[in-house]
C-alpha cells in the first residue's frame, strides 16, 4: 500500500475549523499559554489551557476541543505521546505541534503520527492562523 493511501485510511480528516473554534492550548510555560489564550479569546474562540500532558489528555477526553495547540517538550508526558493519545481518542481533532525543536526527524515523526501542522517557536500569529486554516490531512 502506498504511503498516501495508508495515511488516508489510517487518519480521519481534521474537523473543518475556523477561528471561532474551541481550542486547547498545551504548554508547560504558563506565559506562553496565557499569551495564546488571550489572542484566541479576542478572536472569539472558546479557549482552555493545560500545563502538562496529563492535564491535556484529561481535558481532551472530557471536552473534545476542535483544535489542540501542543508543545512537544514538556515535563512529564511529552507532546509526542500526548499526540498519539489524542489521535486514539478522536482522530478528527486537529493537533498543531509547537516547539523550539526544528529537527526534521522530529517534525516527520509528529506528522506521521497525525499532527496537522508543526510550528517552530517563536512563531507569529499570522503563521499560526494560516496553519489552523490550512491543516495537513
Residue 42: give its domain's CATH number: 3.40.50.2300
Q: Which long-range contacts (CB under 8 A, 24 or more apart) does 53-56 make?
A: 53/26, 53/77, 53/78, 53/79, 53/81, 53/82, 55/26, 56/24, 56/26, 56/82, 56/86
- Write the CB contacts of 78 (distance below 8 Å, at least 6 apart in sequence): 53, 72
CA separation for the pair 24, 67 (Å, rounded): 6
Is the residue at 137 inside a domain?
no
- The pTM for the full model equals 0.84
The cell for 15 is 474537523
- Look at residue 30 in the predicted model and tell me its pLDDT: 96
Higher-confidence residue: 53 or 10? Answer: 53
Number of domains in the chain: 1
pLDDT confidence tier of residue 20, bands split at 50, 70 and 90: low
Give me 136's grid cell: 495537513
pLDDT at 5: 37
Is residue 87 in a domain? yes
Q: Would residue 2 count as lying in a domain?
A: no
Predicted confidence at residue 132, as pLDDT, reads 86
Q: Is residue 117 part of a domain?
A: yes
Q: Give the position of cell 472530557.
A: 62
- For residue 4, tell me if it sits in a domain: no
Q: Which residue has better confidence, 52 or 8?
A: 52
Domain range spanning residue 97?
19-132
In a domain, 11, yes or no: no
Question: Does some domain include residue 95?
Answer: yes
Residue 94, domain member (yes or no): yes
Rounded mean pLDDT, 26-50 = 95
Amino acid at each position: 500500500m502506498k504511503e498516501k493511501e495508508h495515511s488516508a485510511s489510517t487518519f480521519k480528516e481534521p474537523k473543518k475549523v475556523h477561528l471561532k473554534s474551541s481550542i486547547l492550548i498545551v504548554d508547560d510555560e504558563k506565559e506562553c499559554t496565557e499569551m495564546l489564550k488571550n489572542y484566541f479569546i479576542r478572536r472569539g474562540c472558546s479557549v482552555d489551557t493545560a500545563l502538562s500532558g496529563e492535564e491535556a489528555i484529561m481535558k481532551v477526553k472530557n471536552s473534545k476541543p476542535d483544535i489542540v495547540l501542543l508543545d512537544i517538550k514538556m515535563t512529564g508526558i511529552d507532546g509526542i505521546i500526548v499526540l498519539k493519545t489524542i489521535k486514539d481518542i478522536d482522530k478528527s481533532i486537529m493537533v498543531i505541534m509547537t516547539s523550539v525543536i526544528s529537527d526534521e526527524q522530529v517534525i516527520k515523526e509528529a506528522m506521521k503520527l497525525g499532527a496537522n501542522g508543526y510550528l517552530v517557536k517563536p512563531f507569529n500569529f499570522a503563521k499560526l492562523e494560516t496553519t489552523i486554516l490550512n491543516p495537513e490531512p
